[in-house]
């Protein structure tokens, strides 16, 4: 192999690695398990390649429809939450398949310096939403749990395909993108009144969402490695929310 051929081959390999990282390095929700997730035993279609891609699509990944990326409804719903329950949302990254170590903290998890995360409930399959928790700057991050409280005034919901726990993310750095995962859940509550509509932030998904924003990112990490986790002010504010009461 000549020097020129070797250099050309090396460049191609680097480009392939970079492209692969662009597709696989982002995060998705891990708990609750969303539709289409490779770890979800109840999804009729596991997406091993593009689960972590934004709805905008990406290299080797087509655009995905809103809401929920167009993934089919779970065959059965086994994730059940009580009104008033505090759950620890977790994130998943296929580049970190094993137990996280201190060495992993400096590796690329595709955080794009964090950004703006919203967690919401939908009772109509993703047409309308009630935002129940918001995290600024540092979200998402696979190294931390993100506390979300199911509203105490949440009514019961057990219609398969209608009851959704949604995570959406507007990234701080890189391309302007919109990410969303939807988990099929059941809600056990006492209220008979519906929750008020508190819509998710619909941006960065043209032509459907035309508004473009760049939210502030994680001040402790201007890249893709482990950040400083949930801001204490966000945790306190989210757990103190009284929605629908």
Residue 176 covered by a domain: yes
Instruction: Give the pLDDT band of residue 13 (cuts 50, 70, 90).
Output: very low
Residue 245 covered by a domain: no
Residues 136, 215 contacting (CB under 8 angstroms): yes
Check residue 6 and give its pLDDT: 38
Q: What is the pLDDT of residues 111-143, one digit of tens each?
A: 999 999 999 999 999 999 999 999 999 999 999
Strand partners, 117: 135, 169
Instruction: Give the pLDDT band of residue 2 (cuts 50, 70, 90).
Output: low
Residue 114 covered by a domain: yes
Check residue 221 and give its pLDDT: 86
Residue 104 covered by a domain: yes
Q: What is the pLDDT of residues 186-223, one digit of tens each?
A: 999 989 999 999 999 999 999 999 999 999 999 888 88
Instruction: Give the pLDDT band of residue 62 (cuts 50, 70, 90).
Output: very high
The whole-chain average pLDDT of the chain stands at 90
Of all residues in the chain, what percent carry a pLDDT higher than 90?
A: 85
Taking the model in full, what pTM does it have? 0.89
Residue 193 covered by a domain: yes
Q: What is the pLDDT of residues 166-188, one digit of tens each?
A: 999 999 999 999 999 999 999 99
Strand partners, 80: 186
Decide if pLDDT at 24 tops 70: no
CB burial of residue 133 (10 Å; 0-12, 13-18, 19+): buried
Domain that holds residue 183: 3-240
Residue 203 covered by a domain: yes
- Structural domain total, the chain: 1
Query: What CATH number does the domain containing 150 carry?
Result: 2.70.50.70
Check residue 245 and give its pLDDT: 74
């Amino acid at each position: 192999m000549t020097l020129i051929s070797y250099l050309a081959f090396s460049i191609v390999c680097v480009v392939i690695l970079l492209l692969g990282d662009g597709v696989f390095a982002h995060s998705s929700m891990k708990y609750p398990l969303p539709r289409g997730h490779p770890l979800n035993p109840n999804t009729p279609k596991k997406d091993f390649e593009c689960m972590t891609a934004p709805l905008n699509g990406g290299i080797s990944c087509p655009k995905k429809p809103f809401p929920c990326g167009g993934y089919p409804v779970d065959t059965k719903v086994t994730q059940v939450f009580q009104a008033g329950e505090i759950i620890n949302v977790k994130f998943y990254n296929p580049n970190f398949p094993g137990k996280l170590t201190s060495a992993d903290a400096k590796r690329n998890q595709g955080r794009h310096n964090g950004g703006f995360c919203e967690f919401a409930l939908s009772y109509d399959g993703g047409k309308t939403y009630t935002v129940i928790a918001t995290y600024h700057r540092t979200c998402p991050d696979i190294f931390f749990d993100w506390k979300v409280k199911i509203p105490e005034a949440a009514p019961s919901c057990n219609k398969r395909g209608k009851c959704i726990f949604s995570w959406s993310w507007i990234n701080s750095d890189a391309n302007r993108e919109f990410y969303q995962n939807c988990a099929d859940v059941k809600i056990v509550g006492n209220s008979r009144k519906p929750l008020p509509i508190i819509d998710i932030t619909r941006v960065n998904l043209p032509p459907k969402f035309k508004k473009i924003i760049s939210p502030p990112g994680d001040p402790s990490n201007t890249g893709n490695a482990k950040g400083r986790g949930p801001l204490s002010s966000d945790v306190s504010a989210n757990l103190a929310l009284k929605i629908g009461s």
